[in-house]
Amino acid sequence: MTQIRSGELDAQLARTLAPIYAIHGDEPLLALEAADAVRAAARRGGYAERQVLEPARGFDWSEFTHAAASQSLFAEKKLIELRLPGGKPGVDGAAAIAVYCAAPAPDHLLLVSLPRLDRPAQGSAWFGALGRAGVVVDVYPVDRARLPAWIATRLARQKQSAAPEVLEFIADRVEGNLLAAYQEVQKLGLLTPEGPLSMDVASEAIAEVARYDPYLAAEALVAGDTARYLRIIEGLRGEGEQPTFVLFAISSALFALRGGARLFNRRLQSAVEAAANRFRRPSIAPSKASAAATPGSAS
């Protein structure tokens, strides 16, 4: 299976255009940008016609089969977009997708968009067929640790830059809301000139659009980031989050840290594993001197 991260998509598209792309993930903004990149590459490749299918309940999958088999009316090549907001195509859809992937049409490009699939769905025959015939693009959220670098990259695209402390300030303002982060960076490009951004400019221009959830609080707690933990707790309090849900997320993380069950939240599980590695004491091999002093070692 050909499987790449969304950050690797531009390089892959520059090398070659695969007959099938399947984009799935947790971050709507990055998934949309990945799909836009595929569409742009398809236009450059001569795929002038575009047909969009979004199956709902009762969808007749013969429509997809017909679209995939029919010639383009207005161009030599056609882009077919198959959007699966529910993530699963059902029995008929799975069969139709697998059949198409077995012999993709040479003058068609198939773009499948869907939310992140769980492990059983990723192991299904239809999803495996997509990966064998084309490219699966994994879209992961931008976590807090990588957010300043993400902001710096976006600023660089509009010929702007910021010092590390300014990037951290912006990240604090937009954490947990990547679409709003994108909009705030775009706003900086419109309101401020090219070049470095000062803290004063950033503090005046950037709105407080951070969006928190209890799992982010638990993640900050087990990571030992007290300042971020308190900021998230205050944000949750201001948003009216139920204390019982916050307590559940934190207690679940602490239970997992003590060797309890794994967590369903992938980022929190990674933070728990990192914390467990920090707290784990390294085993110390006994020295030769202490070994010689053990009972029974003397003659």
Number of domains in the chain: 3
Q: Residue 284: inside a domain, yes or no?
A: no
Q: Residue 173: inside a domain, yes or no?
A: yes
pLDDT > 70 fraction of the chain, expressed in percent and rounded: 88
Q: Over 80: is that where the pLDDT of 9 sits?
A: yes
Examine the domain organization and report whether 171 and 234 are in the same domain: no
Q: Which domain CATH number covers 135?
A: 3.40.50.300
- Cα–Cα separations (whole angstroms), residue 27 to 31, 34, 42, 191: 6, 11, 23, 27
Examine the domain organization and report whether 237 and 149 are in the same domain: no
What is the per-residue pLDDT for 126? 95
Examine the domain organization and report whether 113 and 195 are in the same domain: no
Examine the domain organization and report whether 270 and 148 are in the same domain: no
Higher pLDDT, 17 or 275: 17
Examine the domain organization and report whether 115 and 18 are in the same domain: yes
Examine the domain organization and report whether 222 and 188 are in the same domain: no
What is the per-residue pLDDT for 209? 62
Residue (of 257, 261, 273, 216) closest to 239 by Cα position: 216
Range of the domain at 126: 3-139
Examine the domain organization and report whether 85 and 16 are in the same domain: yes
Q: Tell me the average pLDDT of the chain.
A: 86
pLDDT > 90 fraction of the chain, expressed in percent and rounded: 47
For residue range 187-225, list pLDDT tens digits in order: 899 888 899 999 988 888 887 666 677 888 888 888 888
* The token pair that represents 285 in the structure block: 């091999």
- CA atoms of 22 and 38, how far apart (whole Å): 10
What is the per-residue pLDDT for 138? 95
Q: Which domain CATH number covers 198?
A: 1.10.8.60
Domain boundary among 153, 170, 205: 205
Residue (of 245, 246, 253) closest to 269 by Cα position: 253
Examine the domain organization and report whether 20 and 116 are in the same domain: yes
> If pLDDT is split at 50, 70 and 90, which confidence band does 17 have?
very high
User: Average of pLDDT values for 253-260?
Assistant: 81
Are the beta carbons of 188 and 197 closer than 8 angstroms?
yes
The pTM (predicted TM-score) of the whole model is: 0.70
What is the per-residue pLDDT for 299? 37
* 181 Cβ contact partners less than 8 Å away, ≥ 6 residues apart: 147, 150, 151, 170, 174, 209
Residue (of 167, 121, 125, 128) closest to 144 by Cα position: 167
